[in-house]
A and B are shown apart, each in its own frame.
Chain A
């Protein structure tokens, strides 16, 4: 387990006491990543410890979530072949194919 970067709090430690949710799996650049039903794609990625996924056009710099509310477009991914989907806004569906290169 990594000790830096984003993480989803485990249910046993969570003061909010979330109910059980179905596990889902999305394929991120062909690698399976586990998440929970109801999470956004950004939530799944960050819950799995990922901080960035996109590369900028001009300077080739890494980007991930910045605003978290659909305003900045930093978090764009391709979902099931459809480009330019905001990962922080799109709910993940089991089996979604997410590509970080467009």
Chain B
């Protein structure tokens, strides 16, 4: 029997697991979280089961149906995959630590699957702005995660800003968690959004379920009289030890703040998301080819460039939960050695068109550097400012990203550049007139934090 190992139990991983199982494979699913569902279906823990979880989730019944179908699948939660060790002649060996997050005595497990499905999702990209390191500034996903899994609202008067349709469910969850949402600000302008969302309307029919979901969020904003502004963004946050006010301003088509349009708003929390980045470090370690945006390259059946390794969901490109589900089904079927149906392949294409609109309408524009001041932190871990980055680049005359990172320490902190990597690269690219080695911020040998003691113990085990 083919053994299929799936990393990630979000929409993509769960769809892959059920599809692989239906195709007759033995299936194991690993997820670092304590529960299945991924980011989309994050929910209250088993210790506090909710009677009406669907209040915070579209498609909750789809999740409960998938979960029921998982009988016979081995699910390992609290499983941090930290290394995919590549081989020339077979899929990678997968190294996992199982136990409480960042614990010291976790159980070490390794897997040698016949086929591997990577479904590790995405994390957010939040552009830096003055004051974004103050407590009370959150990624929009943090607000969503705390609302869904903790029933905690990140603040009482909250402003939601950034780009993309994701801002809408975040606002809805905040309202349902007791917060007052004072505004939702979308950086994209109506011109661009309108072109992206209304061109070729028939293409959207296949994604009509998604359109209905978005319409529901818009009704929520209207019912609660929450202003939704386009071509507008947060350009600074103020406060001594916590957020007290934000400055919002109109943004031009390139997202540069329009002079004379700024306004201060009192809030105790601000949630900002400018998009998502594929969480592709395991795929990179496994040797999979990635595209320009860091997404794992796949063929029509979700095969990566490495034989026996498949990828599905946000790591193949940002497209939302419906696309993740459709890709997961393809990947799971193919990984089990069965042939996907034409209908399954068509489902992926339909949702990919929807994804293309996301990036047409909401993709990051270069003008954002216009709101960055010299003393704005860029690297949160190593506390490196934009001014320091520019000064060192100018003083050394270097155009090498690697050497500039070493001399500034930007992107070399404990998050391994996941939060600031792209922004450091874009700023330096601008300052130096073009980096010689762009894209180097994406390579990370380890996908998770491993303690030296744990490493030493593994060494002892293998000797």
Contact = CB atoms under 8 A, between A and B. Distances in A.
Interface in B219-253: 241-242
B101 A89 contact: yes
B177 to A, nearest CB: 5
Indicate the member of A46, A61, A69 with the most B CB atoms within 10 Å.
A69
A47 B87 CA distance: 46
Contacts of A85: 101-103
Contacts of B155: 4-6
A36 B46 CA distance: 12
A90 B102 contact: yes
B101 A86 contact: yes
Interface in A3-38: 3-9, 13-22, 36-38
The interface size bin for chain B is: 35 or more
Interface string B263-280: 000001100000000000
A69 B150 contact: no
Nearest to A61: B133
A46 to B, nearest CB: 5
A18 B383 contact: no
B419 to A, nearest CB: 5
A58 B382 contact: yes
The dominant DSSP class at the A interface is loop
A15 B176 contact: yes
Interface stretch (B52-60, B324-332, B360-368): B52-60
A64 B51 contact: no
Given A16-B52, A19-B51, A21-B48, A67 B152 contact: no
B414 interface: yes
Given A46-B146, A67-B139, A5 B102 contact: no
Contacts of B418: 71-72
Interface residues of A, number: 54
A74 B135 CA distance: 10
B242 to A, nearest CB: 6
A64 B101 contact: no
Interface in B376-435: 380-383, 413-415, 418-419
A90 B176 contact: no
A4 B418 CA distance: 30
B32 A21 contact: no
Given A22-B47, A66-B138, A52 B241 contact: yes
A70 B157 CA distance: 25
A17 B242 contact: no
Contact of A59 (B51, B101, B177, B383): B383
A102 interface: no
A63 B152 contact: no
A100 interface: no
B151 A73 contact: no
Interface string B32-56: 1010000100001111111111011
Given A20-B48, A66-B419, A82-B103, 14 more contacts: A6-B155, A16-B56, A16-B151, A18-B48, A18-B49, A40-B149, A42-B146, A47-B150, A52-B242, A56-B383, A59-B383, A66-B138, A86-B102, A90-B103
9 contacts: A15-B52, A37-B45, A47-B152, A67-B142, A69-B141, A71-B419, A72-B415, A86-B102, A90-B100
